Chains A and B, each alone.
Chain A
Amino acid sequence: MAKTIESFGIPVVHVCSIVPISLAVGANRIVPATAIPYPLGNPELSKEDEFKLRKHLVMQALEALTTDVEGQTVFKE
């Protein structure tokens, strides 16, 4: 889906737990997520810390959207 939408000229960042799948399928901007059942969270953290983690991931995703990339790019910490 990411690459199809990108083919319309709309940048898409794929926040996903299984980066190798995203790379295989062809997403161009990839931000690794926390875990499969809770990609943007972590139930072991307090509500406040979990929100901070989620906001941090979303900020990373926004940074990926504002970054020009040549090819497939995984945005790590």
Chain B
Amino acid sequence: MKRIVHYINQFYGQIGGEEAADLKPLKKEGPVGPGAALNAALSGEAEIVSTVICGDNYFADNGDEALETILAMIEEEKPDMFIAGPGFNAGRYGLACGTICDAVKTKLSIPVLTALYPENPGAEMFKKTVYIIEAPMTAAGMKDVIPKMASLAKKLLSGEEIGFPEEEGYIPQGFRVNFHTVQNGAERGVDMLIKKLKGEPFTTELPMPVFDRVDPAPALKDLKHARIALITSGGIVPQGNPDHIESANASRYGIYDISDLSYLPADKFTSVHGGYDPVYAMDDPDRVVPLDAMREIEHEGVIGELYDHYYATVGNTTAVSNAKKYAEEIAQDMIKNNVQAAILTSN
């Protein structure tokens, strides 16, 4: 029979609540807590040979050391598979489930599985590398999650082909898979359109990404005394592109001195953006970063001051996570330099 090691936290391990969250990793023989139901659902095809239990705080506070201990405990059992959770929407527990699954997969090269609520940070971080069954927010949904976990676990153990996320119940991993369909794309598209026009439900084949929202920052109160910065995603950089910003999928941004300039001379600045025809921007970079206009507005006293550097990156198929990271660093730099507002230009 296939051997499974199961990971749960101190709470599901029936040791205690928050007061026991500093519990060091320990191992018990056989299934514990939710492991019993999971074991039963595996219907004799595999069994939970042992259960590793660790306190949520201990794992969160002792990172690599805790992980090493737990990995050693798992490895000793020579398991065929590792399962963690379900962790529902518990942040520390979910992160532990994801982290350990990912490490076991890499180190022991065995299938791993957990179950988390999609917004659990552990799911966000590991959904690409670990099969994570979509769990509801709380343990009230235990009954629904266990059968899905058991079903996918059996498939992973037998090497059977894993179906699409919606069939198996796991969180989409972002892979694209080729498959044959009876109807071609045009027919499917028209069918979808007809359903949409009739107001009937239909399923898109290419879901659009969902972007989070941020409340607007309060308006600038005193423009006449404000220091304002220019930012561009239009790839305007000094000639020679000193920071080697990529023309697409940029992995970096630059901060460039404009303190002595009243406009952006074409022989000193250029565009490295790979997503638009750069002829007009190279001819006059102010068409993307409006330094000349800002200088005149500054001289007229409309604004207090133009910040003496501008920020630039290339917004061309750039990952949202990268853009977010640059923006955080830029915001911190702005705060450090007492910049109160910014004009961001994009092509």
Point out residues on A near B: beta carbons under 8 Å: 1-18, 22, 24-29, 33, 36-41, 43, 50-51, 54-55, 57-59, 61-62, 65-71, 73
Contact = CB atoms under 8 A, between A and B. Distances in A.
Interface in B208-242: 208, 211-221, 223, 228, 231, 233-234
Contact of B214 (A22, A26, A33): A26
Contacts of B326: 1
Contacts of A68: 216, 218-219
Contacts of B279: 37
Contacts of B69: none
Contacts of B233: 1
B339 interface: yes
7 contacts: A1-B233, A6-B216, A14-B344, A25-B320, A36-B276, A37-B276, A66-B221
Nearest to A42: B287
B87 to A, nearest CB: 27
Contact of A16 (B281, B313, B330, B346): B346
Contact of B345 (A9, A40, A50): A40
Q: How large is the interface on B (under 10, 10 to 19, 20 to 34, 35 or more residues)?
A: 35 or more
By CB atoms of chain B within 10 A, which of A6, A25, A58, A69 has the most? A58
Contacts of A41: 280, 284, 286-287
B302 A16 contact: no
Contact of A1 (B213, B303, B344): B344
B214 A28 contact: yes
Interface of B: 208, 211-221, 223, 228, 231, 233-234, 276-281, 283-284, 286-288, 290, 292-294, 296-297, 302-303, 313, 315, 320, 323-324, 326-328, 330-332, 334-335, 339-347
A8 B331 contact: yes
Contact of A4 (B288, B323, B346): B323
A33 B231 CA distance: 15
Nearest to B253: A1
A1 B281 contact: no
Given A8-B331, A13-B344, A26-B211, 9 more contacts: A5-B331, A7-B217, A11-B340, A14-B346, A15-B345, A28-B214, A28-B216, A39-B288, A54-B286
A54 B292 contact: yes
A39 B346 contact: yes
A51 B292 contact: yes
A62 B346 CA distance: 16
Contacts of A73: 216
A73 B216 CA distance: 10
B346 A15 contact: yes
A14 B213 CA distance: 15
A37 to B, nearest CB: 5
A12 to B, nearest CB: 5
A55 B293 contact: yes
Contact of B341 (A24, A58, A65, A71): A65
Nearest to B279: A37
Nearest to B342: A12
